[in-house]
Amino acid sequence: MAVIFDLDGTLVDTLADITSSLNHVLAARGLATHSRADTRRFIGHGAKELVAGAARSHADVSDDDVHALTLAFREHYTANLIALSAPYEGINDALDGLVARGEALAIVSNKPHAMVETIVARFFGDRPFSPVYGVGPVKPKPDPSGILRAAKEMGVAPSNCSYVGDSEVDVEVAATAGMRSVAVAWGFRDESALVGADRLVRAPSELLDALI
């Protein structure tokens, strides 16, 4: 069996860095800033949607403003990508258990590919994730072509793969690709958004049993 992981909200808690960069660009333009809990609600569909949701929640902001804010956010976030981020507690132990069991591991994320490579190299450089994809080489989820490409490169049929993620988009893409969906409850979505997953896990320590 093979296991393909989402990145943000699944393996790595990136919320503090995303919130910091978002608030930096909002404050610079005199717009209201947001708590981590607020930012968490806006995450999941890319940088533009994140910025638009945050900016328009308290102000009448034009499309041109959203575009400028998005560019500024991407620049600031790229420069501060791993200032505050870290793997979730227990994730490395779970990954070590999967490696010991001989599972093939991959990552497919909706983050830009260069960012994904940087984060994976920083936190998981000694673990055998292959392939590792962000948006660029593959299309963003819920398009299933990215995780299907990963499965093909791993030499595993989709029916023998699990896709692990923290959002309704991850549950959807797994179903579309014919993979087993394992939803994690410690990420960026409440459990109510994860209805339909084949398995729900509430702690990284549960991953080994869930991925059998």
Task: Give the active site residues.
Answer: 6
Neighbours of 44 (CB within 10 A): 22
- Report the C-alpha gap between 162 and 178 in whole angstroms: 9
- Report the C-alpha gap between 113 and 192 in whole angstroms: 29
Whether omega before 87 lies within 30 degrees of 0, making that bond cis, reads no
Q: 202 burial class (0-12, 13-18, 19+ CB within 10 angstroms)?
A: exposed
The pairing of beta strand 12-13 with beta strand 180-184: unpaired
Smallest CA-to-CA distance from 2 within 144, 126, 136, 152 is with 152
- Report the C-alpha gap between 143 and 168 in whole angstroms: 13
